[in-house]
Amino acid sequence: MKVFKVEGMTCDHCVRAITGAVQAIDASAQVQVDLAAGEVRVRTSHPVDQVLAAIIDEGYKAEAVPAART
């Protein structure tokens, strides 16, 4: 699961826009958007940079959250 902090998400339109952008590069991606936390979680085999670029291209300020080490 890849996690991104995303600024500027406020409504269902934002959820649809981000989900659509990610699924445009990977139709089978599972996308979970948490508006309150400002987080997007994506299950995909595509690289983090590619997913991040798709979110940024939608006009959002975003950054990848490093994976926790166990």
Whole-model pTM?
0.91
Q: Percent of the chain, pLDDT > 90?
A: 93
CA pair distance 4, 64, nearest whole angstrom: 4
Q: What is the pLDDT of residue 70?
A: 44
Q: Residue range 46-56: average pLDDT?
A: 97
Instruction: Specify which residues 7 forms β-bridges with.
Output: 61
CATH class of 2-65: alpha beta
